[in-house]
Structure 1
């Protein structure tokens, strides 16, 4: 997949997330992840990608 292909996938994902709204985003992303894992047809690779997706996330914690 080319960089342009990845950009078009990212754009499609961003648009879909905006369209479904915040109430359904988690469910949508879980369904999408399972559909993509099914396409990969390699449980070990899918688990590796699940872990990789969590790396380098900048999560801010708000404290009261």
Structure 2
């Protein structure tokens, strides 16, 4: 996994995980995939690096 100088702490990652889990629950099973795609596209746009985003996709697919 690629790290950045502004990487989150473990506590920050836990906060993000909790917020994401809550949002997935809020979206519900019918809309959770759409929510995750929209979130990924918003984050990709903010990241503004297609190669790094592709690396994040690959890392996320590992060990599913």
Structure 1 segments, 4+ long, off by >6 Å, are none
How far 1:41 moved relative to its partner? 0.7
- Between structure 1 and structure 2, the one with the greater Rg is 1
Q: With CA pairs under 8 Å and 6+ residues apart, which has the higher RCO, 1 or 2? A: 2
Note if 1:45 corresponds to 2:52: yes
* Structure 2 residues without counterparts, runs of 5 or longer: 1-7
The whole-number CA distance in structure 2 between the counterparts of 1:45 and 1:35 is 14
The whole-number CA distance in structure 1 between the counterparts of 2:50 and 2:14 is 26
How far 1:36 moved relative to its partner? 0.6
What is the number of equivalent residue pairs in this alignment? 57
Aligned match of 1:54: 61
TM-score by length of 1: 0.86
Q: CA RMSD in A?
A: 0.6
